[in-house]
Amino acid sequence: MQKQPTIRDVAQAAGVSVAVVSRVLNPGSGPVAAATRGRVNDVMKNLGYHPRTAARELKYGPPTTLGLLLADVSNPFFARLADQVVQEAHSRGIQVLLMTTQEDDQLESERLATLIERRVSGIIATPTGNNLAIWKQLQDLGTEVVFVDRSIPSLPEVDVVSIDNFESARSATAMLAAHGHRRIGIISGPASSTTGRDRIAGYRQALETAGLEQDELLIRHAAFRGPAGGDAASALLSIEEPPTALVVANTAQVTEVLRRLSHAGIDIPGTLSVIVFEDSPWTELVTPALTIVRQPIDLLARHSVQLALSNTQGKTSGKPSVIRVAAELVERSSVARLQLAK
Amino acid sequence: MQKQPTIRDVAQAAGVSVAVVSRVLNPGSGPVAAATRGRVNDVMKNLGYHPRTAARELKYGPPTTLGLLLADVSNPFFARLADQVVQEAHSRGIQVLLMTTQEDDQLESERLATLIERRVSGIIATPTGNNLAIWKQLQDLGTEVVFVDRSIPSLPEVDVVSIDNFESARSATAMLAAHGHRRIGIISGPASSTTGRDRIAGYRQALETAGLEQDELLIRHAAFRGPAGGDAASALLSIEEPPTALVVANTAQVTEVLRRLSHAGIDIPGTLSVIVFEDSPWTELVTPALTIVRQPIDLLARHSVQLALSNTQGKTSGKPSVIRVAAELVERSSVARLQLAK
DNA sequence: ACATAAAAGTGTACCGGTTCCACTTATGTT
DNA sequence: AACATAAGTGGAACCGGTACACTTTTATGT
């Protein structure tokens, strides 16, 4: 373990001043003779010198780090989002600090505290919905905050990137109705989440347009974590007049719900048609192949990173950006066409 | 966007010197009167002061950041590894910088360069297999390097955490043999990877013990990315005497292989028995439920983080640690018991 | 040959914390 | 009452880069 060489070591070894070395390090910051530049570069290589980011950041906290705050990364949706965000950030020379909250307010606030101390230039997050004061503070501090997939209504001045939840749920439900289903159930995220609420709203709209009765028993909210999804599925199946079709609109709970249905021996789509909000390769592998609402994760990532970095460019425009990307309905085999008993 | 208060602002507002504020910030670094401490804390809260990590790190680069360098995070195996690593690190107050290489040497070297500049205290990585010089340099610099899931034989002095690939492949193959299969195929990682080679070796060992003929046609290597897995599956099925059982030992390619089998209309386990190295919830949802080799990802994560942080404790012991954790065989329904035509 | 401008290079303050050392005041001992 | 000791606090150097203001060297024009 060697002692790390500093810029002064390099300067001395190359017989120049530290200012010159700094210029070599930051092309364009001042003139350096070609010969000198070569000599300095050689010395740096020989000494194994690497400028220290911490020292650099001290002068002007440069936008070289981005915080990515997700519920958890074992969820394939978030995993793929993380992957895309990291790639997108790297392509711009930005590093990503990954943190997870487990949907826990307390953990979220701790993570945010460390992000503040690190003076990250931007944060891309799926907020739990609390910690309002901290989010506000972050914005006051000049940190660019972008909520992805969800938002917090009481924080209207934060940028948001998500799919069009209302429209996605509406079209999924409308498709089921068009296939002759009259009792359509939905399992969505918690009522406290905008995602959950918007999807329910889209669902209602579709029912209304189709002239179908709305039954509150068919609407279930499930927490993002834990066994809630499975319980909701069981509950839906045990009501007096069970649904013939189900929209699983809580991405985090998709596998949980399907496992419960499978264990209950429900025939899909014979007994129950299913459409899920999820886009992983495996949805095509199960039998029957699942009809899905595909989230364009790459677009979510691209827009999020762009917004999170936008303050650098000087987006002084005040107005928060709200970007909604369209989700795509991919029909496969888990939805049955019913005979209309009219 | 306020101007960020510094420690000097706090000191002035509280009517004390910066040294005192620093002591309040770092309990145990020196005596502070209770009254003063309270006053300083109040001022910090009022001013919204947060100490800046970059400045702190400048003095002694403290082990507060860890680099996690993976191929990609969209792969569920890596995603869950990332999730566990992040949780494990957070529980120790460490942050994780996530980077991906896409299995690309060039990208890997760039990522490593930035990790060097950041002076991270440790790196947990799935190495591509190249960039030997950089890995060496990192170790010389005192960075704790831990390879997870794979290793590089020509870098024997690096810590490694992985499952016991040899034993896992051996027991999986042995199980198939015990079920009466005589033509057993295997799709493993590239021959250049230790993972791939070890699994093949375990497979061979099992065949030998079972007294089965080894046919090179039944052994396929597939790159971690791209369509290689699917092609390998197709190739296996089109040989003269195709296998009746298949070990899919390339975690990254599992879905690719299964998709190809499914599209080819192969009956599992009727025509082909399948056992896969994978442990995601969905393996239970497909029909038939897959028999799997489960990787204890939480253990991999825990050990990796521990090793990556061990240099702090002063593990001057020289010898690199090699930790192999056992994988678990979970029998479900994708393996058929054959009549022995003896 | 000389004025003059451009290029190359240097010295040093600064970023925001941490920490060593010196100093003052309170407490305890005999 | 005299003095040793400890608690509380302040001053300033330092970490490793960056950049401004300034000096020295080299190139250009007539």
Going residue by residue through chain B, which has 342 residues, state the pLDDT in tens, using 9 for 90 and above.
Answer: 557 899 999 999 999 999 999 999 999 888 999 999 999 999 999 999 999 999 998 887 667 899 999 999 998 899 999 999 999 999 999 999 999 999 999 999 999 999 999 999 999 999 999 999 999 999 888 899 999 999 999 999 899 999 999 999 999 999 999 999 999 999 999 998 999 999 999 999 999 999 999 999 999 999 998 899 999 999 999 999 999 999 999 988 999 999 999 989 999 999 999 999 998 888 998 889 999 999 999 999 999 999 999 865 444 556 789 999 999 999 999 999 987 544
pLDDT band for position A188 (cuts 50, 70, 90): very high
Nucleotide C27 C1' to residue B33 CA (A): 15
pLDDT band for position A167 (cuts 50, 70, 90): very high
B61 in A contact zone (CB under 8 Å): yes
- Give the pLDDT mean for A149-177: 94
Nucleotide D19 C1' to residue A17 CA (A): 14
Contact B117 A255 (CB under 8 A): no
Interface-testing mutation among B282, B297, B317, with chain A (most A C-beta atoms within 10 A): B282
A298 in B contact zone (CB under 8 Å): no
**Per CATH, domain A165-295 is 3.30.70.2970:** no
Taking the C-alpha atoms of residue A15 and residue A40, their distance in angstroms, rounded to an integer, is 9
Q: What DSSP element (H or E) covers A148?
A: strand A144-148
Give me the pLDDT at residue A280, please: 87
B196 in A contact zone (CB under 8 Å): no
Residue of B1, B83, B286 lying closest to A72 (CB–CB): B83
Task: Tell me the chain A residues in contact with residue B284 when contact means C-beta distances shorter than 8 Å.
Answer: 259
State whether the beta carbon of B285 lies below 7 angstroms from any atom of strand C.
no
Q: A334: closest CA among A276, A282, A294?
A: A276
B44 in A contact zone (CB under 8 Å): no
Residue A209 C-alpha, separation from nearest chain B C-alpha, in angstroms:
34
Type of residue found at B299 = L
Give me the pLDDT at residue A341, please: 47
Q: Where are the domains of chain A?
A: 7-51, 65-163+298-325, 165-295
Q: Are A261 and B288 in contact (CB under 8 A)?
A: no
Task: Tell me the chain B residues in contact with residue A83 when contact means C-beta distances shorter than 8 Å.
Answer: 72-74, 79, 100
Task: Tell me the chain B residues in contact with residue A259 when contact means C-beta distances shorter than 8 Å.
Answer: 281, 284-285
Give me the pLDDT at residue A311, please: 63
Q: Do domains B7-51 and B165-295 have the same CATH topology?
A: no
Which structure tokens are listed for A177?
Answer: 């109705």
Q: Are B146 and B126 in contact (CB under 8 A)?
A: no
Residue ranges of A 200-229 with Cβ closer than 8 A to chain B: none
Beta carbons within 10 angstroms of residue A340's beta carbon: 8
Taking the C-alpha atoms of residue B259 and residue B162, their distance in angstroms, rounded to an integer, is 27
pLDDT band for position A1 (cuts 50, 70, 90): low
Nucleotide C2 C1' to residue A34 CA (A): 29
- Give the pLDDT mean for A49-60: 90
Nucleotide nearest to A56 (CA to C1'): D17
Reported as a single tens digit per residue, the pLDDT across A66-116 is 999 999 999 889 999 999 999 999 999 999 999 999 999 999 999 999 999
Give me the pLDDT at residue A320, please: 86
Nucleotide C13 C1' to residue A18 CA (A): 14
Reported as a single tens digit per residue, the pLDDT across A256-310 is 999 999 989 999 999 999 999 998 888 998 889 999 999 999 999 999 999 999 8
Residue A119 C-alpha, separation from nearest chain B C-alpha, in angstroms:
7
Q: Are B325 and B163 in contact (CB under 8 A)?
A: yes
A1 in B contact zone (CB under 8 Å): yes
Residue B85 C-alpha, separation from nearest chain A C-alpha, in angstroms:
10
B286 in A contact zone (CB under 8 Å): yes
A112 in B contact zone (CB under 8 Å): no
Give the burial string for A199-225 (b: 16+ CB within 10 Å, else e): bbebbbbbbeeeebeeeeebbbbbbbb
Q: Are B7 and B18 in contact (CB under 8 A)?
A: yes
Contact B282 A287 (CB under 8 A): no
Q: How far apart are the first and last CA of chain B?
A: 82
How does DSSP assign A261-324, residue by residue? HHHTT--TTTT-EEEEE---GGGGTSSSPPEEEE--HHHHHHHHHHHHTHHHHT-TT-SPPEEE
Q: Search chain A and give the residue with CA nearest B118.
A: A53
Residue ranges of A 4-33 with Cβ closer than 8 A to chain B: 4
Q: Search chain B and give the residue with CA nearest A254.
A: B282
Task: Tell me the chain A residues in contact with residue B4 when contact means C-beta distances shorter than 8 Å.
Answer: 119, 141
Residue B297 C-alpha, separation from nearest chain A C-alpha, in angstroms:
11
B68 in A contact zone (CB under 8 Å): yes
Which structure tokens are listed for B147?
Answer: 């390879």
pLDDT of A312 above 80: no
Q: What DSSP element (H or E) covers A329?
A: strand A328-330
Coil, helix or strand at residue A230: helix
- Is the preceding omega at residue B269 within 30 degrees of 0, hence cis? yes
Label residue A6 exposed, middle or buried (CB < 10 Å: 0-12, 13-18, 19+): middle
Taking the C-alpha atoms of residue B197 and residue B250, their distance in angstroms, rounded to an integer, is 11
Rg (CA), chain B: 26
B72 in A contact zone (CB under 8 Å): yes
Task: Tell me the chain A residues in contact with residue B116 when contact means C-beta distances shorter than 8 Å.
Answer: 50
Nucleotide C19 C1' to residue B258 CA (A): 61
With distances taken from each CA to the C1' atom of nucleotide D6, the closest residue turns out to be: B31
Q: What is the mean pLDDT of chain A?
A: 92
Task: Tell me the chain A residues in contact with residue B80 when contact means C-beta distances shorter than 8 Å.
Answer: 73-74
Give me the pLDDT at residue B24, please: 95
Q: Are B188 and B221 in contact (CB under 8 A)?
A: yes
B142 in A contact zone (CB under 8 Å): yes
Task: Assign a CATH topology to domain B7-51.
Answer: 434 Repressor (Amino-terminal Domain) (1.10.260)
List all residues 6 or more positions away from A108 whose beta carbon is below 8 Å from its beta carbon: A69, A101, A127, A128, A130, A131
Q: Which nucleotides of C are covered by protein (CB under 7 A)?
A: 7-12, 14-21
pLDDT of A2 above 80: no
List all residues 6 or more positions away from A45 whose beta carbon is below 8 Å from its beta carbon: none
The neighbouring-strand residues paired with A324 are A162
Contact A90 B99 (CB under 8 A): yes
Domain A65-163+298-325: assigned CATH number: 3.40.50.2300
Give me the pLDDT at residue B289, please: 94
Q: Are A148 and A161 in contact (CB under 8 A)?
A: yes
Which residue carries 């680099």 as its tokens? Answer: B67
Task: Tell me the chain A residues in contact with residue B84 when contact means C-beta distances shorter than 8 Å.
Answer: 74
Q: A231: closest CA among A216, A203, A253?
A: A253
Coil, helix or strand at residue A34: helix
Task: Tell me the chain B residues in contact with residue A52 when contact means C-beta distances shorter than 8 Å.
Answer: 58, 61, 117, 119
Coil, helix or strand at residue B223: coil
Give me the pLDDT at residue B1, please: 52
Interface-testing mutation among B6, B47, B95, with chain A (most A C-beta atoms within 10 A): B95
Q: What is the mean pLDDT of chain B?
A: 92
Interface-testing mutation among A1, A65, A75, A83, with chain B (most B C-beta atoms within 10 A): A83
Task: Assign a CATH topology to domain B65-163+297-325.
Answer: Rossmann fold (3.40.50)
